[in-house]
Amino acid sequence: MNIVEKNLRELNITLPDCPTPVAAYVPAVRVGNFVFASGQTPIAGGNLVYKGKLGQDLGIEEGYEAARLAAIRVIAELKSVVGDLDRIARIVKVTGYVNSAPDFGDQPKVVNGASELFRSVFGEKGDHARIAFGTGALPDNAAVEIDVIAYVED
């Protein structure tokens, strides 16, 4: 019971309050058995912690941490619509948007910060399809943005 919450505790992760979008959208939408979570940036304690472009302003380890932070916020979004996180049957698809210098090519290593978190928190249910790519820019010059499609059991 409450396996996911237990995993979060063991990882010393406290979920933030569900982020309130600053614009005309909502944190997550459930339709049928699918949940679509809005894009999140690496904010903690109300501050955008990782700003800048990978391969120019930030190194891979910082990018990894940025992706992990953004993923924690995505989990808070998922929780806001499913209530009990154990109801999530699968993290289906993760998209990793990496703010990249034009010659940066290690987006996969950066987005692993999100992917490995989902595996740690959700176990095999965290195994997802993925795309990672380099954006030209991101909101407020965030280092990374992450969004997720999840699936809920009936």
Three-state DSSP class for residue 113:
helix
Q: Does 143 bind its own copies (CB under 8 A)?
A: no
Residue of the chain from 72, 80, 100, 121 that contacts its own copies (CB under 8 A): 100
Q: Does 11 bind its own copies (CB under 8 A)?
A: no
CB under 8 A: which stretch of 3-11, 12-20, 58-66, 123-131 binds its own copies?
Answer: 123-131
Q: Look-up: residue for tokens 């948007």?
A: 97
Cα-based distances in Å from 57 to 17, 63, 108: 29, 10, 18
Closest CA to 146 of 77, 73, 81, 96: 96
Q: Which of residues 14-33 bind its own copies (CB under 8 A)?
A: 21-29, 31-33
Q: Does 76 bind its own copies (CB under 8 A)?
A: no
